[in-house]
Amino acid sequence: MSEKKLLRKRIEASKQLNDLMRDYFYRMDRVSKGEEEGKIAWCTSVGPAELLSAFGFQIHYPENHGAMLGSTRLAMEYIPVANAMGYSPEICSYLTSDVGSYLKGETPLSKAYPGIESVPRPDVLAYNTNQCRDVREWLEYYAKEFDVPVVGINPPHGMAEVLPGHIDDVVQQLKDLIPTLEKASGETFDIDRFRESMRLSRECSELWGDVLGLAQNVPSPWTFFDGCIHMGPAVCLRATQEPIDYYRALKEELEQRVADGVAAVEGEHLRIYWEGMPIWGKLRALSEQFSELNACVVVSTYCNSWIFSAFDETRPFESMAQAYTELFINRSEPHKQTHMERMVREYKVDGIVFHDAKTCPNNSNSRYGMPQRLEEELGIPTLVIDADLNDLRMYSEETTRTNIEAFIEQLEENK
């Protein structure tokens, strides 16, 4: 085995993860082809999945498809196709890669899962602009293409505190979705099914929070880069039983690593916070570089975005409104800073890497003085990487590698 391979410790539960995701994609494909009964909804990644699930929809997440396009680097073939039809290179590169792949009639699913020729055809589309405006534009485009209804939530933005008035507004918006969803699914709304979806999502979210929290241990049993791969079920299969079973198994394995003192990064010496989106096409290269430098990226705001602590099946509408409105991405700058300071302390972080994703200002938090304020408050160094989630035209391998090396040296001196 080469030295490089040793840098990435295999997580045994990965096999179970692969099976789970394979079954998810094939199930949707069968429904889409009419080989199995059901309907398909497309949903944004922090959209009202539990409500859709209560109507029995199988749910496709275009952002998950966007991440696949990024990690396979096919995004680079498809982004220009969307650019050519008027979608700016400066808007979300998940959107442009996904729309480009649709226009070309191609998907990485075909290679990963033989027999799947396209993403599933939607019966309805549902967004939540809690994260950004782009998701609305994205789903409205497909609503026209497929001639199906699109529904959405437009919550207030940038709050220091989420107040009862904000929740009431979003609850009403959620309830307003019901008639369209009843029509698209052919099913009548059932509050008990909705409660059950919320219960399942809550359990999934709690377990996902638990496994992420295991990285607070020194040494950490896994890394942010592992989390980016293992988050699939928390995003795509929440509101079902499958991710609950999966995260129980993953938790057990990682707890064993902690008990045995097994480090994800051999000789872990530095602990890093990754702020912002992953750079999907460079996940492996970055993971290996940090490992070579004995630095473990232990925490991120990104992976933590699918912990919905407020979910409560006894108050399904209110708690759903709360959870999807109080997300980190949707909050004021001071709130974000307080959150990050807490994470730095809890995960014993030595330095913070901010990814300034050029096509996602919404999830890039280095633009209003946050790195400088955190350096001052916490006395730890920060680094800003200029790059993008999917568009590698905005990424310089050489500059990034050099900057990371220099940053790690600075952290060593600071320690």
Instruction: List contacts with ligand SF4 (CB under 6 A).
Output: 63, 92, 94, 131-132, 134-135, 277, 360, 362-363, 389
Tell me the C-alpha distance between 92 and 277, whole Å. 12
CA-to-CA dists, residue 81 to 92, 103, 119, 359, angstroms = 14, 7, 18, 16
DSSP 193: H
Question: In angstroms, what is the minimal distance from the CB of 66 to ligand SF4?
Answer: 7
Q: What stretches of 186-231 show up as alpha helix (H) in DSSP? A: 191-213, 224-230
> What is the nearest approach in angstroms of ligand SF4 to the Cβ of residue 95?
6
- Nearest CB to ligand SF4, comparing residues 97 and 400: 97
- Cβ proximity to ligand SF4, 63 vs 123, nearer residue: 63
**Closer residue to ligand SF4 (CB): 108 or 221:** 108
C-beta separation of 166 from 126 below 8 A: no
Residue 132 or 286 having the CB closest to ligand SF4: 132
Nearer Cβ to ligand SF4 (80/361): 361
CB of 79 to ligand SF4, least distance (A): 13
User: In the complex with ligand SF4, which residue's Cβ is closer, 132 or 297?
Assistant: 132
- Opening angle at CA 327, ends 299 and 264, nearest 5: 15
Coil/strand/helix, residue 304: helix
8 Å CB contact between 386 and 364:
no
Q: How far apart are CA 178 and CA 153, in angstroms?
A: 12
Considering the complex, what minimum distance in angstroms separates the CB of residue 5 from ligand SF4? Answer: 31
CB 31 within 8 A of CB 113: no
| Bond before 221 cis per omega within 30 degrees | no
| Smallest distance, ligand SF4 to C-beta of residue 391, A | 11
Calpha distance 204→196 (Å, rounded): 12
Nearer to ligand SF4, 55 or 61 (CB): 61
Residue 413 C-beta-side C-alpha neighbours within 13 Å: 7
Nearest approach in angstroms of CB 135 to ligand SF4 is 5
The least distance separating ligand SF4 from the CB of residue 332, rounded to whole angstroms, comes to: 17
Q: What counts of helices (H) and strands (E) characterise the chain?
A: 18, 8
Residue number with CB closer to ligand SF4 (202 or 238): 238
CB of 312 to ligand SF4, least distance (A): 26
Strands 270-275 and 295-300: parallel
Smallest distance from the beta carbon of 410 to ligand SF4, in angstroms? Answer: 29
| Residue 411 CB neighbours (<10 A) | 20
Q: How far is the CB of 361 from ligand SF4 (least distance, A)?
A: 8
Task: Pick between residue 203 and residue 388 the one whose CB is nearest to ligand SF4.
Answer: 388
For the chain, state the CA radius of gyration. Answer: 21
For ligand SF4, the closer of residues 11 and 387 by Cβ is 387
Nearest approach, Cβ of residue 89 and ligand SF4 (Å): 13
The residue among 127 and 246 lying less far from ligand SF4, judged by its C-beta, is 127
Sheet bearing 124-128, strands edge to edge: 58-60, 40-43, 124-128, 150-153
Best CA proximity match to 391, nearest among 143, 88, 121: 88
**CA 42 – CA 405 distance, rounded (Å):** 41
23 DSSP 8-state letter: H
373-378 LR contacts (CB < 8 Å, sep 24+): 373/337, 374/337, 374/340, 374/341, 374/344, 377/337, 377/341, 378/341, 378/344
C-alpha span between 49 and 203 (Å, rounded)? 15
87 backbone φψ class: left, alpha, beta (φ>0; ψ -120 to 50):
beta
